[in-house]
Amino acid sequence: MSDIRRSFIKIGLDLGIDFANAGALHGWVDLVDFLELRGALTRADGAELRAMGEKDARHCAAALSQGLQFRETVRAMLGAMAAKRPLKASWIVEVNQALSWGTGADRLVRHETGWRLGFTPAQNDPLRVLAPIARSIADLAAVGRAVEIRKCANPRCVLYFRDRSRGGRRRWCSMAVCGNRMKVASHALRHGRRRPS
């Protein structure tokens, strides 16, 4: 796997949100690694898709480009969901298009000590990797305004998360990063100290 393994943090509590939050996806392998690390692909599927990237680099690069464009749509949708604004029809069209790339059938596959439900795509198109992300964001959209999507309360942070906290009051993408920084800055302001840089 590429360096994305070391830099990827699951904070969104949802595949679509983590895709929007994912750092730089520099190549096809980064996208495949991301999906494998999030459990959207099995190791075998990941290996197959990496091999596809070597055999058909042009189509896989085009699928990555399409994926990066789709990520901007996902980010826009998350922003609207966080602000409790309606979703634009053009975003829904893009999600439905991405969902169609994942046509196929479910199947049982061996998983460590038992079985789990897997997916067999009907087509061998590299765009199929975007279908699980589209399914995730479609599930969020289907819940409607009741879904608790939030943007991190740190004004410098661009990350989103799904608030599943007991009281629905989570404010930070990560308490260890943004939450701590903001609390230290707030403390310094209250006590007349300069804000740390």
- pLDDT tens by residue, 113-129: 888 777 676 667 899 99
Whether 76 and 92 have beta carbons less than 8 Å apart is answered as no
H helix intervals, 85-159: 89-100, 131-143
Most confident by average pLDDT, 42-56, 133-147, 151-165: 42-56
According to the model, what pLDDT value does residue 2 have?
Answer: 46
**Does the pLDDT of residue 5 top 60, yes or no?**
no
195, part of any domain: no
196, part of any domain: no
**Sole residue written with tokens 């966080």:** 82
Q: How confident is the model at residue 183 (pLDDT cuts 50, 70, 90)?
A: low
**Does the pLDDT of residue 6 top 50, yes or no?**
no
According to the model, what pLDDT value does residue 57 have?
Answer: 95
Q: Looking at 14-23, 74-83, 85-94, which range is the least confident one?
A: 14-23
10, part of any domain: yes
197, part of any domain: no
- Taking the whole predicted model, whether its pTM rises above 0.95 is answered as no
Which one has a higher pLDDT value, 104 or 24? 24
116, part of any domain: yes
Q: How confident is the model at residue 73 (pLDDT cuts 50, 70, 90)?
A: very high
Whether 150 and 129 have beta carbons less than 8 Å apart is answered as no
Host domain of residue 185: 4-190
For the record, the structure tokens of 6 come out as: 């070391």
95, part of any domain: yes
Mean pLDDT of the chain: 84
**Does the pLDDT of residue 12 top 80, yes or no?**
no
Q: Give the total number of structural domains in the chain.
A: 1
Whether 35 and 46 have beta carbons less than 8 Å apart is answered as yes
Whether 184 and 168 have beta carbons less than 8 Å apart is answered as no
- 103: domain CATH number is 1.10.3300.10
33, part of any domain: yes
34, part of any domain: yes
**Does the pLDDT of residue 156 top 90, yes or no?**
no
